[in-house]
Amino acid sequence: MDDVAARSAQSIDIGTLIDSRPLSGLQIRTIVLCALVVMLDGFDIQTMALAVPSLTAEWNMPREQFGLALSASLIGLGCGSAFIAPLGDRVGRRPMVLVLLSLVGLASIATGFSSSPTHFVFWRLITGLGLGASITNAIALTSEYMPAARQSFLTTLMFSNIAVGALVAGFIAPELIAWGGWQAVFWAGGALPLILVVMLFFGLQESVRFLLEQRPQDARIRTIVRALAADSSGVSVIADPATRTRRQSIRELLTPEFRLRSLVLWTIFALNMFVMYSLISWLPALLRDEGWTTAQALRGGVLTQLGSVVGGLAMTFLVDRGLAARTLLVSYSLAAMALVGFMVFDSTLLAWCTLIVLVGIGINGSQLVLFAFAAAFYPPAIKATGVGWAIAISRIGAVGGPIVLTSVIAMGLGTASVLGTLIIPTLLCVACVFALPRVLRDAGIGHRNR
C-alpha cells in the first residue's frame, strides 16, 4: 500500500503495514538493541572458557572435575528458554527482557564473588536462566517488527552477534584476568547487561503485534504505528488475520496445527546443536592431537565462527527468496562432505582450515537460519513459547554432543575418524530437511520455500 492516509476509511492489518514500508528508525533501533542482547550470550560462553584455567588453579581442582560448572549455564539456558521465556507471551516481550537481563547482570556479578564451586555453579545456573529467557524474547520481539520478505535475513543478522560477543570476550578477557583475576571477567559480564538494561528501558518498544493480539486497547499501539508509518493517521490497524488468542504452553505447540512443524524443527535443532557443540568442545584438543600448536588449534576452532556468520547471512539471503529447504539441503550436504574430507586429506593447516570453515558454514550457519525459522513458524500469541521450546530442545543436543564425542574419543580413534562420526547426525539433518516443504507451506512462509 503506497498511501495509507488515502485509505483512512479502511482497516489494515499490521503485517501488511510493516511489509509495505521500508525499515523505520524504530525497527532499526529494535534490531540493534536486540542484537546487543544476543551478543551477551557469545560473550558469556567465551569468558567462561577463558576463566576456567584460572579457577581450577585457584581452587586446586583438576579441569575434568569442573564439568558441572561448565554445563551449568547451558542447562540454565535450556530451562530458561523452555519454562520462563513463554511468560513473554502473557506479560510482553519488553518487560521480560528488562527483568531477566537485570537478573543476568546481578547473577554474573555474584559469580565473581563465589567462594566455592557450589556457589559458582548456582550463580552460573541463574545466569543461564536469565540469558535463555531474555534472548528468546529478544528474538520474538525482533521478528515481529520485521517485514516478511527480509525477516529471515534480519533475524539471522541479529543472531550472528553471538559470534561477535565471543570475539569481544576473546580480546578483553585475558586483559581482565591479568588485571583482576577470574573474578573481573564475571564482574564485567555483569556490568554489561545492567548498562544494556538502561539503554533498553529508554529505547526499546513492546512488540506491536503482541499488543494488537493481547491488548488491542493499549495506548502504545497508536504511538508505535505512527513511528512505523508517519502517514497512518486515521487508519485502523488490526492484528494479523491469521492470529488468534491461544494457550501459551507446550501443548499448543503439539496440537495438529503445529505438531509437524514443531517436531521437525526440534529434531533439526537438536541434531544441529549436537554437531556444533561437539566441535566447540573438542575441536581445539583434537587439532592439538594432530600436532598443531596451541595457538594454531585455538585459531582453528574460531574458524567455525567465521563460517557461521558468512554461511548464515548467505543462506538467509536465499531463504528470503523462497529457497529455504534447498538451501538447508545444500548446507548440510556441504558439511557432511567436509567431514568426510577430514578422513581424506592430511591434517595440513591449509586443507583442514578450509574444511573447518566449510563445516562452520554448513552447521553453524544453518543454526542461525533455524533461529530465524523458529521465529517465523509461530503466530505472535505463542511465538516466545515456540522459540523458547525450540532453543530448549536444542540444548539437549548441545549437552549430549560433547558427552557422546567424549565416549568416541575414549575408544582411541584418530582425530579424522572422531570427526567422521559427526557425519551421522549431519545426514540425519539432511533427512529432516525433506519434510520442510510441507512444514513451510503449513506455516505460510512463502509459496516458493522448497
Per-residue pLDDT reduced to its tens digit, 241-273? 655 545 556 788 888 888 888 898 899 999 999
* 151 part of a folded domain: yes
Q: Is a pLDDT exceeding 60 seen at residue 448?
A: no
**CATH no. for residue 385?**
1.20.1250.20
Do 256 and 387 fall into the same domain? yes
* 63 part of a folded domain: yes
Q: Is a pLDDT exceeding 80 seen at residue 44?
A: yes
* 358 part of a folded domain: yes
| Cell numbers describing residue 218 | 493499549
Exposed/middle/buried for residue 148 (C-beta within 10 Å: 0-12, 13-18, 19+): middle
pLDDT (0 to 100) of residue 100: 96
Q: What are the angstrom distances between the C-alpha of 283 and each of 66, 176, 403, 417?
A: 19, 26, 14, 13
Do 312 and 206 fall into the same domain? no
Number of domains in the chain: 2
Do 298 and 210 fall into the same domain? no
Q: Do residues 248 and 91 make contact, with C-beta atoms less than 8 angstroms apart?
A: no
Do 55 and 179 fall into the same domain? yes
Q: Do residues 330 and 318 make contact, with C-beta atoms less than 8 angstroms apart?
A: no
Q: With cut-offs at 50, 70 and 90, classify the pLDDT of residue 307.
A: confident
Q: Do residues 24 and 228 make contact, with C-beta atoms less than 8 angstroms apart?
A: yes
Q: Is a pLDDT exceeding 60 seen at residue 192?
A: yes
Do 179 and 122 fall into the same domain? yes
Do 190 and 279 fall into the same domain? no
* 240 part of a folded domain: no
Domain boundary among 153, 186, 214: 214
Residue ranges with strand state E in 173-290: 236-238
* 7 part of a folded domain: no
* 188 part of a folded domain: yes
pTM: 0.75
* 233 part of a folded domain: no
pLDDT (0 to 100) of residue 439: 66
* 158 part of a folded domain: yes
Do 184 and 276 fall into the same domain? no
Q: Is a pLDDT exceeding 60 seen at residue 447?
A: no
Do 168 and 275 fall into the same domain? no
pLDDT (0 to 100) of residue 242: 57
Do 270 and 209 fall into the same domain? no
What is the rounded CA–CA span in Å between residue 405 and residue 415? 11
Do 187 and 268 fall into the same domain? no
pLDDT tens sequence across 278-298: 887 788 778 888 988 866 776
Percent of the chain with pLDDT over 70: 87
Domain boundary among 186, 214, 242: 214
Do 191 and 278 fall into the same domain? no
Domain of residue 342: give its range: 250-443
Dihedral in degrees, nearest 10, Cα atoms 193, 195, 198, 204: -60
Do 50 and 191 fall into the same domain? yes
H or E stretch covering 327: helix 324-344
Domain boundary among 156, 190, 214: 214
Q: Is a pLDDT exceeding 60 seen at residue 170?
A: yes
What is the rounded CA–CA span in Å between residue 117 and residue 56? 10
Q: Do residues 303 and 357 make contact, with C-beta atoms less than 8 angstroms apart?
A: yes
